[in-house]
Structure 1
Amino acid sequence: MAAALIGVLAGSLLTSRANRMHWSRDKQIEACAAIVAESTRIQLALRRAWRHGDPLDWVPWNVALGTVWLVGSPAVVAAAAAMDQVFWDHSDQFVQQTATSETAWKEARDLMEAARLHFINAARLHVDPRHNKLTQVPVSRPPLPHTVAPSTGSPPTGRAVPDSSGA
C-alpha cells in the first residue's frame, strides 16, 4: 500500500514538472514569435514613417521585448536586445524623415534584417539544439530600383532594374 502511494505521488510530481516545462517552452516560443512579428512590423512602419510621415507605435514592440525578458534564455534575450539596439541606432533618421537616400534605408534595413535573423537562429537553437541555422530572413521585400550599365560597356541608360535586395 505504501509503495503504491509513493508511486502515485512520484508520478504526480513528474507529471506536474513535465506540464510546467511544456508551459514554459510554449511561452518562450510565443514570446519569440511575437518578437519576430513585431520587429517586422516596426521595420515596415519605419519605412512608412520615413516615406509618408506615418506615426510609429512602439508599444507592441516593447511588450514583446518585456515578454522575452521574462521567459527567454540569456542568448535569446541578448539577441532581442541586439535587435532593439539596431532600431535605436537607426530609427530617428526615418521617424524624423532626415534620411537622405534609399541607400540609407538599405543599410539600416540590412542591419535590421541581420539582427532579426540572428534572433531567429538564437530562438531556434534554444527551442531545439538540433535546428540548423537559417540564412534567409522571413520577410518578403519589394525591390528597390537601381540603374545599371548595359554589358556592352556603354554608359548607363538610366533603365530601372529590380534590385533583389529589396526594401
Structure 2
Amino acid sequence: MTAALLAAVTGVVGLAIGRLWDTRSESTRWRRDQKTACYQRLAEEFQATYEAIRIIALTDTNSTSLQSLIEHTRTGGFAAWDSAVAAIWLHGSAEVVASATQLDDAIGTLFYSAVERQLTTLEAWRQARVPAREALERFIESARKELDLPSVPVRLFTDPRAIPSGSN
C-alpha cells in the first residue's frame, strides 16, 4: 500500500513539474515569437517610411502635390511606423530598444530634412540617408544578437560609386 501511494504521489508530482516546465517553455517561446514579429515589423515599416520620405525629398518644390504628400506622410504615413516602434518598446531587450530609438530619431531627422527642402538633389539625398541606413543596420545587428542568430553583414542602399569597378 505504501509503495502504491508513493508511486501515485510521485506520478502527480511528476505531472505538476512537467506542466510547470511546459508552461515556462511555452511562455519563453511566445516571448521570442513576439520579439521576432516586432523586430521584423519595424524593419518592414522602415522600408515604407523611408520610401515616403524619399518621395517627399525628391519631389519638385513647385509641384502642386508636394504639400499634400508632406501632410499625408505627417498625419497618416507615420502611424504604422510609430506603432512598430512602440511594440519594440514593449517587447524588446534594452539593447534593441536603444537601437530602435536611434533608428526612430534618424528617420525623424531625415523626414524633417526632406520637409524643410534641404534634400533637393539626388546627391544630397544619398548623403542625408546614411545615418538612417546605419541606424537600421545597427538595429538589425542588435535584433539578430537578441534572437541568438549569427551576425551577418548587412549593408543597405550602397552607393553605386562605392562599388569597385572591374577596370581597377
- Structure 1 residue 84, shift from structure 2 partner: 0.7
Structure 1 residue ranges without an equivalent (≥5): 144-161
* Structure with the greater alpha carbon radius of gyration: 2
Q: Give the distance between the partners of 2:24 and 2:34, measured in 1 at CA.
A: 15
- Of residues 136, 140, 151, the one that matches 1:132 is 151
The runs of 4+ residues in structure 1 deviating greater than 6 Å are none
Q: Give the distance between the partners of 1:164 and 1:47, measured in 2 at CA.
A: 21
Paired residue type of 2:11: A
TM-score (norm 1): 0.78
Q: Which has the higher strand share?
A: 1
- Of residues 70, 89, 101, the one that matches 2:121 is 101
Higher relative contact order (CA 8 A, sep 6+): 2
The 8 Å contact of residues 49 and 78 in structure 2, kept in 1 or not, is answered as yes
TM-score (norm 2): 0.77
> What are the equivalent positions in structure 2 for 1:8-23 lying under 5 Å apart?
8-23=15-30
> What are the equivalent positions in structure 2 for 1:1-167 lying under 5 Å apart?
1-52=8-59, 53=66, 54=69, 55-56=72-73, 57-128=77-148, 131-137=150-156, 163=161
Q: Which has the higher helix share?
A: 2
Paired residue type of 2:113: Q
SS at match of 2:129: helix
- Structure 1 residue 89, shift from structure 2 partner: 2.0
Q: Give the distance between the partners of 2:112 and 2:155, measured in 1 at CA.
A: 26
Q: Give the distance between the partners of 1:78 and 1:119, measured in 2 at CA.
A: 9
Paired residue type of 2:95: A
Give aligned-pair identity as a percent. 24
Q: How many residues align?
A: 143
The RMSD of aligned alpha carbons is 1.9
